[in-house]
Amino acid sequence: MLLIKFDKMQSLGNDFVMVDLDQFSRKPLWGADFFRKICDRNYGIGCDTAVLYQKSNDGSQVQAEFFNADGSEAEICGNAARCLGSLMKERYGKPKFLLKAGGKICPILAEDEISVDMGKPSFDPEDIGFSKPVPDPLSVTEHLPCDADVSVASCISVGNPHLVLFVPEAPTAERTASLAKMSENSLFRNKINVSAAFVKSENEIILSVFERGAGPTLACGSGACAAVAVARLKGLVKSEKVRVYQRGGILTVSVDNEGNILQSGPASFVFCGEIYL
């Protein structure tokens, strides 16, 4: 058994167990069972995602890995990135650093809110994980059993893959659950995050997300980025800054002149502790 020190963090109700790898002389070789135990809300600590991170000596960079509640690895997590921003600022006095995760480098700035530059979205079939050729990732309705009221079905990667479905009214938990089955559609080699999005106004989107490997969550940072990126490309929103409403709260997502996506919102400490696993 190994004693593990951890921090529990949350952003908009999306919660994380953060494990600093500097506490170990060498990185433990943990498998999927370990992460399932950590995330289990009855027999473990309880969270949507477990995060392993390691700081550079000067704190200017943080390398991170993200593991879902089912034990699978995620490329990146937008809300967890902001939680790392809060942790680095409050505990280590580093309000600005570079996050390295899943092949991406994301600048993070922690001020009153935490902001993460997610970079440019990708429509590369490999990044999305298509199992067969798809001519236009922004229009995949013909490849999926979409209901008639899904006006737009688009695939995009913001560091991790998302299927964004625009619906005619604010999505309920039940509606999101009915769409979640598309996560395991054979079109996607490694499953996909599924978002139900409703455009409320030119600068407002209501969003509900079923996260691959974690299920329905109160909020999804990368899902918010994906929805705004698709909505702008499809002309569904005009504003460069969009408020995204989720069950856990509000994120602000903006797109700069170069097409980089910036997400800003709160993140906070819940508790810290130790566990033997």
Indicate which residues carry an active-site annotation. 77, 220
Tell me whether strands 73-74 and 152-157 are parallel, antiparallel or unpaired. Answer: unpaired
Please, are residues 85 and 116 in contact by the beta-carbon 8 Å criterion?
Answer: yes
The residue whose two tokens read 């659950």 is 177
